[in-house]
Amino acid sequence: MDIQENLPLTESTFYILLSLAPGPKHGYAIMKDVKTLSENRVSLSTGTLYGAIKRLLDQGWILRVDEPSQNGNNRDRKAYLLTQRGRRILEAETARLGKLYHVAQLRTAQEEA
């Protein structure tokens, strides 16, 4: 399926993918990162977050991996990372938003002139 068919992304999906762009993260870290990236505007509940994660896993945009335990309780945490397809979609959406911004800037500049 053409990547463009998946655009535009919902704000939550965009932020989740963006949060995973630098590297794998577990659920709580994604939640915090989304809040930071959106300057506290988007606060995901666990239900919304994991509903989105489930959908992104099914679509093959992200992948689940075991993150080794850090506190010695032998319980591996699940982390999520972008697949190549997920990254392509994120890049396409970023480019789309960039174009929108560019067009809006041009039009505003014309009006001011």
Partner 1 sequence: MNYYDWLLSRLYAGLLNFYPGRFRREFGSEMQAVFEQSLVEASGSGQVAVLFLRELRDWPKALLHAHLQERRLKHMAISFDEKPIKWWGVLAGMGLFLLPMIFELLGEISTNTLPVIFRVGLVVSILALILFAIFKGLSRWGLPVLGMVLGVLWMFVGLQFVGPWFVPWLERLVQGGRQAPPYIWQVIMDGVLWIPLLLISMAFVLIFLLLPPLRTLYRRVRNDWTLVSLTLYGAILFALFIDWDEYTQASIFISACYLFLALGVAGYLLSKTKATRIAWLLGGATLSMLTMAVGKFILVPLQDWPVWFQWHAPETERWFESLRSLSELGWILLVLMAPSVINLLPPAREPVVGIPDSPIVEKENSAVSVSPR
Q: What's the gap between Cα 15 and its chain centre?
A: 4
**CA dist 23 to 62, 77, 104, Å?**
11, 15, 32
Residue 7 or 94: the one with the smaller Cβ distance to partner 1 is 94
Residues that bind partner 1 (CB under 8 A): 1, 18, 21-24, 27-28, 31, 43, 45-51, 53-55, 57-63, 65, 77-78, 81-87, 90-91, 94, 97-98, 101-102
CB of 7 vs partner 1, minimal distance in Å: 14
Give 24's contacts (C-beta < 8 A, 6+ positions apart): 65, 67, 79, 80, 81
CB of 19 vs partner 1, minimal distance in Å: 10
CB of 14 vs partner 1, minimal distance in Å: 9
